[in-house]
Structure 1
Amino acid sequence: MLQALMNLFSICWKPFRHDGEKSEGNSVLGGGGAREGEDGLLWFRDIGKYGSGDFSMAVVQANQVLEDQCQIESGPFGTFVGVYDGHGGPDAARYVCDHLFRNFQAISAESRGVVTTETIQRAFCQTEEGFTALVSELWSTQPEVATMGSCCLVGVIYRQTLFVANLGDSRVVLGKKVGNTGGIAAIQLSTEHNANNEAIRQELKELHPNDPQIVVPKHGVWRVKGIIQVSRSIGDVYMKHAQYNREPINEKFRVPEPINMPILSANPTIISHALQPSDSFLIFASDGLWEHLTDEKAVDIVHGHPRAGSAKRLVKAALQEAARKREMRYSDLRKIGKKVRRHFHDDITVIVLFLNQDLISRGSVQDPPISIRSALDH
C-alpha cells in the first residue's frame, strides 16, 4: 500500500523507448527537445532548460535497487535541485524526494514565496519528522525502515542568491571563470558530514563528551559508533530515538549503550552565495562521483566539452577511473550487472546546472514550471 502511494505521488522520468528498440545506447528526444535515454545501467538527460539556464542530468545504478534519487523543480519561486543518496535501502531517499520539495514549497508560500535559510531549515525538519512518523507507523510490519537513511544535498536559486543545504557527504562544486584567462576554478560550496573528516570527528566528540566510542575506525574508515560514516542524515532513526534501537532490527545496527540523545543529526549546514557574472555552472553529485573524480577534474570535464551530455560525461569518467583502479577495462565494467557492480562503484547521481547570468539578473521565472524526478523502479 505504501509503495503504491509513493508511486502515485511520484512524477518519474524514465527513458522513453519504442517497442522493439534496443535499450543499449538508445536515446530519443524528450520533452522540450531534451535528449534522454539509457546505456546499460546508465540513465541520462543530456540537456534541458530550467529557470536560470540549461541543465544536464545522469544516474548510474550499482546496487540491486537504486538508492539514489534526485529532482529539479523550477517555477515562480526560482529553482530547487535535490540529490538524495540513500543507504540501507531506497525508502528514505524516495521519501525525501517525495516530500522535501513539497514541504519547502508550502513553507515558502507562508512568506509569499520569500526564500531564507529558515525556510529551508524548516523544510528539512518537517521531512525528518514525517519520515520518523512513517517509521513508527511501519514498526510492527517493516522495522527495517528504521535503519534506512539518506544524505540530502539541496540547492535553491532564489533571485540572485544560491542557497546550499547539506546533510551527509554529497557535494556541490562551482565552476567559476578566472578573469579573462579562459580558465576555470573549482570551488566547493557544500560542507560534508563524514567521520573520515577530522573536523567532523571533533564535532562528534564535543557533542558526546562522555562516549569514547562515538567514532571508531572499522574496515579502514572512521565510522560513527562503528556503524555509519555520515554524521547527519534524514532517517537512520535507530541512531536518533531509543525506541528503535532494539529488536527486531538487525543486531549489527543496534548500539549497545542507551541512546540518551540523538547520535546522528538532521540539521543541515546551509550557506548562501550571491551569484556573480563569473559563476559559470554548478555540479551537484552524490559521493559516488567524488570517490573517483577530484573537484578540479570534474570542473575541467564540464568546461572543456559541449553542454549537452555533461552529466553523463562525468558519470562515465568516474566509471572509467573505477575500472582503472581495479586494473580492468571500462568496457568490461559495463558488462557487470547491478548488485555485483556495487563492489566496483556506488550508485552515482549528477546534475549540472549552467548559469545564464542574463536570466538570473532579470529574475526570470520558469513558465511553465518544470518538475523532473529520477525514476523509482530500477
Structure 2
Amino acid sequence: MFSGLVRMASTCWGPVRRYARMNKDNNNNSNNSSGDDDESGGGEDALLWCRDLEKHSYGEFSFAVVQANEVIEDHSQVETGRDATFVGVYDGHGGPEASRFIRDHLFLHLIRLAQQNGTISEDILKSAFSATEDGFLTLVRRSCGIKPLIAANGSCCLVGIIWKGTLYVANLGDSRAVIGYVGRSNKIVSEQLTKDHNASMEEVRQELRSLHPDDSHIVVMKNGVWRIKGIIQGIARRLLKSALNEAARKREMRYNDLKKIEKGVRRFFHDDITVVIIFIDHELLVKNTTVPELSIRGFVDTVGPSNFNILQGMDAKAKAKNVV
C-alpha cells in the first residue's frame, strides 16, 4: 500500500546521466495504425486510448492506456516545460482513489518544493512523495467513517523527471522503468532502472514487517502468492497492444475477440495497463528548443497548460540571491 511502501523509496533514487538517441525513422512508423503495424488485426478497441509522438524538451513521447476494470484504476500524466519533463504512472488497486489522488497532488507538491528550493533534486522528489502520502492519509482519516473501503485503497507510483540534462527515476511498488539505448552492433539494449517492490521478495517482506511490527497480517500468503494485506499483487501503443495480444493468446483467443469484451468483464483477461515512452535526443540537450508547456492526463484525455511554466527564471532568481 502507498502508505507502507513510501519508506522503501530510498533504495531506488538516483540520477541517470546516460541518454539514448533513438532511431526516429522507426519511431515515426507508430503513426501508421493500419496494415502490418496494427497488431490488433483491424478495427478499434473502444477501451484503448493513446497519443502518438508529442514533443517534450529533449525529444518526443508517446502515451497509451487500456482499461480493464469497471472503473479504471490506472492514472497517469505527462507534464512538459521549457526546461523539464515529468512523467507519472500510478497503478491503483482496491479502487481509483489513491492513484487519482497521487495524479492530482504529487506534481503540484514537486513544483511547490522546487520553487522554494530553487531546483529539482532527489531530496525534493522524496519530499514531494512524503507530502503526497501525508495528504492521502489525511483524506483516508476524514473519509473512512462514511467510506470505509477507502482504507483498503493503494497505488504503485512510478515517476521520471528530466531536469537540466539529468534524469531522475523513482518508484513505489512493482511498476517498472526501463531505458533503451543503442549498444554494440547498433542493437537496442534495455536496462531496468528501478527495483521492484514486490511481496514475493523476502527482503521486501522483512522490511514491511519491521515497519509494521504491530500488524501480523501486513504480508500474507493468498492462493500461493505473497500479498501485502492480502490485497496487492518500441512505441507505447505498440507495446500495449503486444501485451494485449499476449493476454489473448493465453486464453487461446484473438485480440479481435478480446476487444469485444466490455470493461469489468475484461478484468478477467488483463489488468488496466499504462505505457509511456520517452525518446531522448542528445542533440536537443544543447539546443534551445521551444516546446509547448502541456499537462496531459492519460485516458481521461484532458490537456491543459502545465505548471512547469512557473519554474522559468528560477535559476536566475537563485543566482541573484547568491550574489546578494
CA shift, 1:40, in A, is 1.5
Question: Which residue of the other structure, out of 290, 293, 302, is the alignment partner of 1:369?
Answer: 293
* Aligned counterparts of 2:152 and 2:218: Cα–Cα separation in 1: 18
* Aligned counterparts of 1:360 and 1:151: Cα–Cα separation in 2: 31
Name the counterpart of 1:148: 153
* Aligned counterparts of 2:143 and 2:83: Cα–Cα separation in 1: 34
CA shift, 1:142, in A, is 2.1
CA shift, 1:136, in A, is 2.3
Pair 1:216-2:220 in alignment:
yes
Secondary structure of 1:312's aligned partner: helix
* Aligned counterparts of 1:131 and 1:214: Cα–Cα separation in 2: 19
Secondary structure of 1:336's aligned partner: coil
TM-score with structure 1 setting the length? 0.64
* Aligned counterparts of 1:201 and 1:338: Cα–Cα separation in 2: 33
Secondary structure of 2:177's aligned partner: strand
Name the counterpart of 1:199: 203
Q: How many residues align?
A: 259
Name the counterpart of 2:191: 187
Name the counterpart of 2:66: 60
Cα 1:141–1:206 shift into 2, 3 Å: closer
**Is the helix fraction higher in 1 or 2?**
2
Contact 1:74 1:366 in 2 (8 A): no
CA shift, 1:76, in A, is 3.8
CA shift, 1:196, in A, is 1.4
- CA displacement 1:86-137 (0-9 Å, x = unmatched): 111111111111111011001001122x111110011011111111122222
Contact 2:222 2:230 in 1 (8 A): yes
CA shift, 1:367, in A, is 4.1
Which residue identity lines up with residue 373 of structure 1 in the other structure?
R
Contact 1:44 1:57 in 2 (8 A): yes
CA shift, 1:328, in A, is 1.4
- CA displacement 1:28-86 (0-9 Å, x = unmatched): xxxxxxxxxx7321011011111110111000000001110111111144111000111
Cα 1:41–1:195 shift into 2, 3 Å: same
CA shift, 1:211, in A, is 6.8
TM-score with structure 2 setting the length? 0.75
CA-based RMSD of the aligned residues comes to 2.1
The aligned runs of 1:1-378 (5 Å cut-off) are 39-112=45-118, 114-179=119-184, 181-207=185-211, 214-229=218-233, 302=234, 310-362=235-287, 364=288, 367-376=291-300
* Aligned counterparts of 1:161 and 1:51: Cα–Cα separation in 2: 12
CA shift, 1:366, in A, is 5.2
Cα 1:175–1:206 shift into 2, 3 Å: same
* Aligned counterparts of 2:264 and 2:83: Cα–Cα separation in 1: 39
Secondary structure of 1:123's aligned partner: helix
Contact 1:42 1:61 in 2 (8 A): yes
* Aligned counterparts of 1:104 and 1:127: Cα–Cα separation in 2: 10
Which residue identity lines up with residue 52 of structure 2 in the other structure?
D
